[in-house]
A and B are shown apart, each in its own frame.
Chain A
């Protein structure tokens, strides 16, 4: 589904990703772990299309399409979803209004018919209920004054209504208490299926106890230095990132 080959990315003069190779197939859950500054958030944002980053070489293809030729919103309509580490507060736009606009923008982009007001409301309500959220959520301005947990739940809600095929979670566990983490993880797990892939970017192993990955990759200094199964996350938790750094230096 997603194929990354020798991807190099810079911001300004600084090279952040120094040749990433990664293949993600439908139904798989991949975790990217790594210390601060290793480039894992950059990778997430580059896939979503953030314009500040410059891709200097390599390829990024999604379902056979060259992502590097696609705008941010085209990628979203093609099924890529990035759950933000820091969802943006947008005063003056209600969550409901925002969701309605995005649902129909995405449906239109995928050649599906747009939903009318009644259908939209029904869809939003059912997803809100599935996620165990309060309907009052929909009437509030998007992310404005939301707690950390509410913001992350809102990201999962958006993921649920937009039905992407590749979900990228950027440090979704940061700033969450254990109850909120559980709600978010349950929401994500409910979306897992054979057609949908996940890329989970996280510093800590904690989230991976709740969303169990098929593969774990360790990113360090712009390169993937280790790949393995879910047991790799546990190893990192035990011995920390210093081990990765030492190994990387030896290489």
Chain B
């Protein structure tokens, strides 16, 4: 009897579990391997999982009804690639990995430089170094309660990917994961990309993940990254979510950081009808730095939700968080920033800031800083502001000849510029800035 015969899922999930159930039927993994263990672990966590409802504090402001009521189908792996995709390659000079509708497109992806391995999870089993990262992630996940959406994507067998950076590799050219939803049909499609990213000791690389749509068709992306940053390594992680405003997008980035490592994230959330980005960082050693920066912009009826969690479990670590957002129209924004400083985490420095600009009467923002501090020798601060454009500043700029729209745009640029400037890589910063600029002018 296989697991497919006995596995139970809650039918409240609607079509969202289709890819999971289908992958169970395929049974293309080899039993007993690390990849198989990973899937079994996730399946066990997802089994009988309830759909989070309004009573669940973490989901209070983000309703899932519309997502659950939409019937999503698999999109076949395309053989050809839309010319518009090729055109978008020019936007950022990078080592490119192209994923269309959740399917890796090796023929359009670049080969990796020395010291960096990329491939499917199944193939990682034959790569000693990549397998070490897989082993590490599996070990950590055994101690982790995943979110249902995270377990759902992790529980699927075929499409998992792995990027493994060897120790001491310093590579400044960005590695670009280009996730494209190309759906021109009336039928909503899903994509469940799963990635393990492993940073070897003292490695330093730049990763960019872009999520874009080429057509107006509805899609649901449920993306998961499980990341380990070994001691002394520094991962610069950038994320652009610019899918069409018919689509649904849920992401989990879970990061395990070892001693003296640094993880820096800049997330730009401007697309989708419903967007939720979770980032969870767990400290496993001393001397760790975590920098979480993000900006979100939503208009019309877009819903944007950022959930951050930093687990300060070890002493002498620091975290810096800055999330800024601009809401217009009937948009709804959510920020939930959780920080736990555990009893052992003395000498922790943790700073969190969330500032949101509201441009219309009907936009709503819910911002919730959540600090739980169990150590006594720490420096922690948090702040949340929700406000409008400064009328005095608008008057000043207009009195110099700028129209109300020009003045407002300039102030908004300045507002989000603080986040974009956290990105130290000039080309990546320009790439992200251009996308934000385009959002302003559409």
Flag if A91 contacts B399 (CB, 8 Å): no
Question: Which chain A residue lies CB-closest to B409?
Answer: A101
Q: Is B83 an interface residue (CB 8 A)?
A: no
Count A-B pairs with CB separation below 8 Å.
Answer: 74
Q: Is A176 an interface residue (CB 8 A)?
A: no
Question: Which chain A residue lies CB-closest to B405?
Answer: A73
Flag if B402 contacts A105 (CB, 8 Å): yes
Partner of B418, one of A90, A91, A101: A91
Known contacts A50-B395, A88-B392, A92-B418: does B411 contact A158 (CB below 8 Å)? Answer: no
Question: Which chain A residue lies CB-closest to B402?
Answer: A105
Residues of B within 8 A of A162 (CB): 400-401
Closest CB in chain A relative to B410 CB, distance in Å: 6
Q: Is A48 an interface residue (CB 8 A)?
A: yes
Residues of B within 8 A of A51 (CB): 395
Instruction: Pick from A71, A76, A87 the residue with the most CB of B within 10 Å.
Output: A76
Flag if A102 contacts B400 (CB, 8 Å): yes
Q: Is B112 an interface residue (CB 8 A)?
A: no
Complex alpha-carbon distance, A49 and B411, angstroms: 20
Q: Is A82 an interface residue (CB 8 A)?
A: yes
Closest CB in chain B relative to A76 CB, distance in Å: 4
Flag if A90 contacts B411 (CB, 8 Å): yes
Q: Is B439 an interface residue (CB 8 A)?
A: no
Known contacts A50-B395, A72-B395, A84-B396: does B413 contact A92 (CB below 8 Å)? Answer: yes
Known contacts A87-B396, A88-B393, A92-B417: does B411 contact A73 (CB below 8 Å)? Answer: no
Q: Is B301 an interface residue (CB 8 A)?
A: no
Known contacts A84-B396, A88-B390, A88-B393: does B417 contact A102 (CB below 8 Å)? Answer: no
Flag if B417 contacts A109 (CB, 8 Å): no
Known contacts A92-B414, A92-B418, A93-B410: does B400 contact A76 (CB below 8 Å)? Answer: yes
Which residues of chain B from 160 to 191 have any CB-CB distance to chain A below 8 Å in the complex?
none
Partner of B400, one of A50, A71, A158: A158
Partner of A72, one of B398, B410, B417: B398
Residues of B within 8 A of A90 (CB): 393, 396-397, 411, 414
Question: Which chain A residue lies CB-closest to B410?
Answer: A93
Question: Which chain A residue lies CB-closest to B392?
Answer: A88
Residues of A within 8 A of B404 (CB): 71, 73
Flag if A76 contacts B401 (CB, 8 Å): yes
Which residues of chain A from 103 to 121 have any CB-CB distance to chain B below 8 Å in the complex?
105-106, 109
Q: Is B13 an interface residue (CB 8 A)?
A: no
Flag if A105 contacts B401 (CB, 8 Å): yes
Which residues of chain A from 137 to 155 have any CB-CB distance to chain B below 8 Å in the complex?
none
Interface residues on B, range: 20 to 34
Complex alpha-carbon distance, A78 and B413, angstroms: 27
Q: Is A77 an interface residue (CB 8 A)?
A: yes
Complex alpha-carbon distance, A90 and B393, angstroms: 7
Known contacts A84-B396, A92-B415, A92-B417: does B410 contact A73 (CB below 8 Å)? Answer: no
Q: Is B403 an interface residue (CB 8 A)?
A: yes
Complex alpha-carbon distance, A73 and B401, angstroms: 4
Contact with A along B372-384 (1 / 0, CB 8 A): 0000000000000
Flag if B398 contacts A71 (CB, 8 Å): yes
Closest CB in chain B relative to A109 CB, distance in Å: 6
Question: Which chain B residue lies CB-closest to A106?
Answer: B401
Q: Is B406 an interface residue (CB 8 A)?
A: yes
Complex alpha-carbon distance, A90 and B404, angstroms: 16
Residues of B within 8 A of A91 (CB): 414, 418
Residues of B within 8 A of A87 (CB): 396
Complex alpha-carbon distance, A162 and B402, angstroms: 12
Closest CB in chain B relative to A197 CB, distance in Å: 17
Flag if A101 contacts B403 (CB, 8 Å): no
Closest CB in chain A relative to B318 CB, distance in Å: 24
Residues of B within 8 A of A93 (CB): 410-411, 413-414
- For the A-B complex with A84-B399, A92-B415, A105-B406 known, give 7 more contacts whose Cβ atoms are closer than 8 Å: A50-B395, A71-B404, A72-B399, A73-B403, A88-B396, A90-B411, A102-B397
5 A-B pairs with least C-beta separation: A92-B414, A76-B401, A106-B401, A88-B396, A72-B398
Chain B interfacial positions (CB closer than 8 Å to A): 390, 392-393, 395-404, 406-407, 410-411, 413-415, 417-418
